[in-house]
Structure 1
Amino acid sequence: MRTTPHNSPAGRRRWRRTGAAVTATAALLLTGLTTAAHADTARASTSRVTWTRSCALPRHKDEMACNALRVTGGRTAFQQQHGISPGAAEASSPSGYGPSDLRAAYGLTSAAASNGTGRTIAIVDAYDDPNAESDLAAYRSHYGLPACTTAGGCFKKVSQTGSTTALPTADSGWAGEISLDLDMASALCPNCHILLVEAKSASMANLGTAVNEAVSLGAKYVSNSYGGGESSSDATYDSAYFNHPGVAITVSAGDGGYGAEYPAASKYVTAVGGTRLTTSSTTRGWTESVWRTSSTEGTGSGCSAYDAKPAWQTDTGCAKRMIADVSAVADPATGVSVYDTYGADGQGWATYGGTSASAPIIASVYALAGTPSSGSYPARFPYAKTSALNDVTSGTNGTCATSYFCTARTGYDGPTGWGTPNGVGAFTG
């Protein structure tokens, strides 16, 4: 049976639907939260950003939740920087960070232009997105990226059994998640092939089977943008689904603020936290802090209750697996542009956040860095080359007894790990 995350505040409902509002250019602003039947959003003026969960909440304890957050109102950092006012026609043009922004922020301009050819990034999600390929084509065309189609051999969509025809039931919420993942893989590694593996449900067993299928089809980089509470079964899941030497497997750390999630807690994966990313006058041109909106929304982090500590993780406050390892942009107020047309929420261009954005970003950086050596565990790579990361030293994602579990500091901390990419150096073996 799954439990609530370890070290979470007492009585906290991990998968409570909440909305949030933040000031897009200032410090994080806490607001009163309201709930609605479909999604919870916060009352906010047009200068603040509101969003909702893309996927429905799990109906059973063994189900996972996707970590995609879709912006529903307000003015994002991108819109403010470019003088764009939100309006009724917003779905007709991007309103979040695009490929050039993300590559510039993470020192990947030259790598993205020259690396990735012949490498395959696998995206593992639940249910089917019938418009996945056409939406991907629209995103790539808008940003001038090379076409990635089934006919051309660049894109492939399969079920967890590898079938290209017997696909799962379609789901509009997970379709938004799929679009986010495909677009981030395209943005960071435009020369990579993309394999979309769709699980027939959001159970850990089916999603794990989809991970195994992705690896069996040759993917060396596998992105997973979902999670749930930890359980005593996690060690079994580790062995069954995530122990793939020579494969870089990334998992989002969660969107519920401080508290450990699985499979981010697996010792075999790279757990990816989330940041707030904004332009600045620094030499880098960008600055980042821990993403947190409220006590129940922000990047996940924490000390696992069940998973053993990997040998390369040496922080002393947590005897077991510590989350996260690295991080990337996840705050919806500084979110990324996504093109999605399936279902009621798929109206074209939208801005997304959540650690569902950061996980495929990091998987793509691994792909740009090169094929992991046979027998290696790529989760350890950033620990050996911490100087090749942007250290995130400000912000917190909640309240914890051991400060670095939930508060950024110089060097390693839970919410952001060792930091965000500064080129590909930290992701090579």
Structure 2
Amino acid sequence: MRTTTSPNPSAAPGRWRRAGASLLGTAALVLAGLGTAAHANAAPTGSTATPSKVTWSATPCATPKHHGELACDSFRVTGGTTAFQKAQARRTGDTAQVTPKAAAASPTGYGPSDLQDAYGLTDAAADNGSGETIAIVDAYDDPNAEADLAKYRSYYGLSACTTANGCFKKVSQTGSTTSLPSADSGWAEEESLDLDMASAACPNCNILLVEAKSATMANLGTAVNRAVTLGAKYVSNSYGGSESSSDTSYDSSYFNHAGVAITVSAGDEGYGAEYPAASKYVTSVGGTALSSSSSTTRGWTEKVWNTSSTEGTGSGCSSYDAKPSWQTDTGCSKRTISDVSAVADPATGVSVYDSYGVTAGWYTFGGTSASAPIIAAVYALAGTPGSSDYPASYPYAYLGTSSLNDVTSGSNGTCSSSASYLCTAKSGYDGPTGVGTPEGIDAFTG
């Protein structure tokens, strides 16, 4: 198991690799013997125990099982005191601890109200999204997806989103509701994360979960096409792999959908490009560390998410995809990653309810798997894209305005000194965080 602690050491370049190549570190997560679902290490009520460093491990789907499969972009917290818990401790004097390898009895990461407040979405989340459908594309089946989503939404007071009331639908890549892929506990964690984040940012939206029969680009791409065929105008993808000369053909086959906001996580291996985040037709979503702050008007601060030379948000230059017309940076002759960003640091992670293959309960997750569905939901709050538009272009029109939070600190690795913005945050556009994070929905409107 690869574990990580925070705070962050300095970063160096990293790369995703598809199965069959050498992977950086071991991301296998042992699912047996996970313990009980209680705060076994929690401090007593009223205690002011010293917060401990956050530890986490890559989820099992972050290591492809078969040659040619892509990896999910998620990490699960296994111990320590998260940013959410630290904020709680400052308010109450209590310091609760995540029980390593076990689910917590109550949330230990950011919930819907935190994310809506951080990104200026509170009013839009209350009023917008009705009738809009966010599609979540993942591999394999999560048999407990609907039930786990119900637990999340009920806990946070969100309206029910079920098959019965027409809000939730789960299909295979063929569109079948009954002939589903084989179940996989690792991808089930990813699906819970994606479904919960879509709900957190757009609680009034309908959700379509499209499950590919495996994690190959062909099957995941077919699932993207299925989502669009079924009417989704917002499609979230939290997976990726190393680039290849086939990517431009994948672009035309799977991602060239004008009038649809397709979001893709930028990757979790630090500086370096991955696909399909590199597709010129998608919104590539980088990751930040998000912390509450009493010293800023916003009430929150963000910096580039970076933990080590092999963990942090992705960014960089595509080797194959052409630069879209709305990107004007000069450090990449081809497509630049990322476009926008949102929270991804596991130490400042989000709360997720999951039960398939693990102890049922609350977990805290990070990775750009969290940021991609959040941004898809922001697009949904903003409304249906123009029929001929590629919504990745929308935020660029708002660069430097109050509709975006400009992230100006942090780095995700080492890059050319002549184009340091590709790996280092600065005022304006930069690779790790793009044009910034949402401050309301205006920047995501055509």
Separation (CA, whole Å) in 2 of partners of 1:370 and 1:364? 10
Aligned match for 2:84, one of 55, 78, 84: 78
- Which residue in the other structure is 1:52 paired with? 57
CA RMSD of aligned residues (A): 1.7
Give the conservation status (yes or no) of the 8 Å contact 1:46–1:73: no
Answer with 75-84 or 292-301: which moved more: 75-84
Does residue 6 of structure 2 align to residue 19 of structure 1? no
Could you tell me which runs of 5 or more consecutive residues in structure 1 were left unpaired when the two chains were aligned.
1-16
CA distance in 2, matches of 1:357, 1:148: 20
Deviation at 1:135, TM superposition (A): 0.3
Q: What does 1:6-405 correspond to in 2, within 5 Å?
A: 18-23=2-7, 28-29=8-9, 38-39=28-29, 47-56=52-61, 57-83=63-89, 84-86=95-97, 88=99, 91-280=104-293, 281-344=295-358, 346-386=359-399, 387=401, 388-401=403-416, 402-405=419-422
Q: In the alignment, is the contact (CA less than 8 A) between 1:275 and 1:291 conserved in 2?
A: yes
| TM-aligned CA distance change 1:151 to 1:39, over 3 Å | closer
TM-score, normalised by the number of residues in structure 1:
0.91
TM (norm. structure 2) is 0.88
Q: Is the 8 A contact 2:266 2:368 kept in 1?
A: yes
Taking a change above 3 Å as real, the CA distance of residues 284 and 180 of structure 1, as seen in their structure-2 partners, is same
CA distance in 2, matches of 1:156, 1:304: 34
Unaligned runs of 5+ in 2: 12-23, 31-49, 90-94
Identical-residue share of aligned pairs (%): 73
Offset at residue 385 of structure 1 (A) = 1.5
Distance 1:284 1:47 in 2: 27
CA-to-aligned-CA distance 1:315-359 (integer Å, 9 cap, x gap): 011000000000000000000000000003x43100000000000
**Contact map agreement 2:27 2:57 (CA 8 A) in 1:** no
Deviations 1:185-211 (A, max 9, x none): 100000000000000000000000000
Aligned residue pair count: 402
Contact 2:107 / 2:352 at 8 angstroms: preserved in 1? yes
One-letter amino acid of the counterpart of residue 393, structure 1 = T
Asked whether the equivalents of residues 226 and 356 of structure 1 are also in contact (C-alpha less than 8 Å), the reply is yes
Q: What is the CA–CA distance in structure 1 between the aligned matches of 2:164 and 2:421, rounded to whole Å?
A: 48
Say which SS state the counterpart of residue 257 (structure 1) adopts.
Answer: strand
1:237 alignment partner, SS class: helix
* 1:5 counterpart residue number: none
Distance in 2, matches of 1:300 and 1:423, equals 24
**Alignment check: 8 A CA contact 2:140 2:183 kept:** yes
For residues 319 and 154 of structure 2, the distance between their equivalents in structure 1, rounded to whole angstroms, comes to 45
In the TM superposition, structure 1's runs of 4+ consecutive aligned residues that sit over 3 Å from their partners are 34-40, 87-90
Residue 182 of structure 1 aligns to a residue whose secondary structure is helix
Are 2:402 and 1:413 equivalent residues in the alignment?
Answer: no
Q: Mark the CA change 1:151 to 1:412 in structure 2 (over 3 Å): closer, same or farther.
A: same
How far apart are 1:90 and its partner, in Å? 5.6
Q: Which amino acid aligns with 2:28?
A: H
Give the distance between the partners of 1:374 and 1:37, measured in 2 at CA: 40
Relative distance call for 1:425 and 1:201 in structure 2 (3 A) is same
Amino acid at match of 2:331: G
Q: Say if 1:63 and 1:35 are closer, same or farther in 2 by CA, change over 3 A.
A: closer
Per-residue CA deviation, residues 213-267 of structure 1 (Å, 9 max, x unaligned), is 0000000000000000000000000000000000000000000000000000000
In the TM superposition, what is the alpha-carbon distance from 1:379 to its structure 2 partner?
A: 0.6
Q: Is contact 1:22–1:30 with CA below 8 Å preserved after alignment?
A: no
Could you tell me how far apart the structure 2 residues matched to 1:140 and 1:339 are?
9
Cα distance, 1:87–1:216 mapped onto 2, change above 3 Å? closer
